Structure 1
Amino acid sequence: MGVCASELKYLVRPAKVDQTLTLLVRHAVEGRVDDVRAMLQRKPKLVKAVDRFGMSALHWACYAGKLPCVTALLEAGANVQQTDTNMRNALHHACRKGHLGTIQLLLTTYRMDVNRQSGNGDTPLHKAVLAGSPGATLLLLYYGADPTLQNSNCENAVQEVQAKIAQTIARSRRNPGAVIAAPMASMAAVVQASTTLEPHHEGTVNETSNNTAESEAEATAVEPFHEKPTPPVSLQAAKRSTKRLLRASTTKVILSIRQKQALGQYELIAHIFTVYTEKATRPTAGIEWRRLLEEYTPVRL
């Protein structure tokens, strides 16, 4: 965590903070709730300390989705309404990764504003859409999020997801998938090189005594069996080229799979917005809305 090693300061007044806040944030992000409680007992003021991004240990715990640590920090006096330098609060950070348990805790127990906008106008719903989280989107809409609120780019959450769908499709066209033929062709070249670099020697039927003597003399100069001959340079180069092509091909495959998964998530979020707007007028949309809530969120109707 590079940010944990940043220069730290207190929110209330400028002060030099030691590396204990870095350790507190690390414990919170890793979910070590006992260590978090122990540190806060020794140094209670750490609960109000922030890093150079204005993020407190509570912000980091919400971002990581470590619910026990979030609860421990709030019980120790962390300000649930505290914002970072971008005016993002704990709910914004929980929605950035779609942590449903943390989102539900902040909305139900601590009554956070579901439509609070950050410095660039993003609501928690914007963050959930950008995270590609259908569950967080459903949960926020269930607790009253307004999908029509616009950010500084004049985009609401519905427009945001449409933009992400278009962006993901454009990226997938630039990366249509892995090209397996090239590595396989290179592998064939390696096999061919390995078979052609060493000529095939055929023994003669009529061997003279001189040839026999020469072979016996050469037998005394045979290299030890444990010393492996160095492969020809051209064969080594072909193998290295094949490995590079295989790595590039694997990277393209992984990227293609991730893009397809992201596209599926964004399309599901777009479907959620459609169902949300139609559930009051179309009975089947209401049934679909309840099904989605029970499938993707902890809400049970």
Structure 2
Amino acid sequence: MKWLQVLKDYQNYLRLERGLSENSILNYSLDIKKLAQWLNTNKIEISPVDISEEILQEFIYEVAKKVNPRTQSRLISGLKGFFNYLIFEDYRKTNPLELIEAPKLGRKLPDTLAVEEIDAIISAIDLSSKQGERNRAIIETLYGCGLRVSELTSLKISDLYFEEGFIKVTGKGDKQRLVPIGPTTEKYINIYKKEVRIHQNIHPAAMDTVFLNQHGRPLTRAMIFTIVKRLAEKAGIHKTISPHTFRHSFATHLLENGADLRAIQQMLGHESITTTEIYTHIDRRHLTEIINRFHPRK
């Protein structure tokens, strides 16, 4: 059994049986390719069916010297999933990583922006440029609806239910959810649609896509990252910012203003409430600031 052949089978399994996104499949595939490349470099000829715990321990030890604990943990988790697949398909009886523990990780709090910083980023947009109205609508949608960047780039005009006050979002694993949309976000999407997008020559495959590049095609994830980074620099914000920062800020600001954690979970599309609970750590910090500012015994 060759590594590349079984990798193709595994990718099909992740796509068809698990319903994972292409980005997730790519990440899982990279882990397996790293292992196959390491075996080749070290002239170790062994199949996925026969590889032992000892060889995998040596591989992980080599990787561990070059990457941080979070990357190590993700690699071990990814490889465990691959060997569980081989067990599922009756290629193996045991998982050689069963006894290999991932490094313990502290829970990383996501970076967030203050409302004033978000306003500064939006104010930095040059509305006289061709893409100004589009970029304002993009930032307002990321922050106003808490979308992942992949959810933003795949958003369809047919997903906009403005009269009902919702947009339909397709998230991880092609799971769909309805997210409320506020009047401000709706306003700027409409301005972009009616004043900018309507005048573009749109590629036939992108007719239903909301946000387009100058060639009338869907924006890429990389382009959204570039837009956000340039606007943050222009606004003089020195934090490490990505499109995901607006999603984190969306959740944090809702929680700080009294929103229910379950409602935030539904809007973010988290399968587990424990994923959403990370924002309670940020909220505790906010509450500590209130105590220090206002309590008479501070």
TM range (shorter): under 0.3
Question: TM-score with structure 2 length normalisation?
Answer: 0.28
Question: TM-score with structure 1 length normalisation?
Answer: 0.28
Higher relative contact order (CA 8 A, sep 6+): 2
- The structure that has the greater radius of gyration is 1
